[in-house]
Amino acid sequence: MVIRHQKKIDDYHESWIQKIAEELIREELDDVTELLRRILKLKLKDFQETVIENGYGQLSTVYFDYIIGVTQSRTSADEYVLTRSIENFKNSDTIGSDKFNKAFEEDFDTLTLRMDKDIDIEDLINHIEDIDNPDIIDVDYSTSDLSKCTVKISGFEGAIHFEIDEIRIVVNKNTSPRILVASFQNVYKVLGSSGYLKLTD
Q: Per residue in 121-144, pLDDT tens?
A: 999 999 999 989 888 889 999 999
DSSP E strands, the chain: 47-53, 56-61, 65-72, 80-87, 108-114, 137-142, 145-153, 158-163, 166-175
Residues 30-36, mean pLDDT to the nearest whole number = 96
Average pLDDT over the chain, rounded to an integer? 86
Tell whether the model's pLDDT for residue 30 goes beyond 90.
yes
Tell whether the model's pLDDT for residue 85 goes beyond 90.
yes
- What is the value of pTM for the model shown? 0.76
The predicted pLDDT at position 161 comes to 95
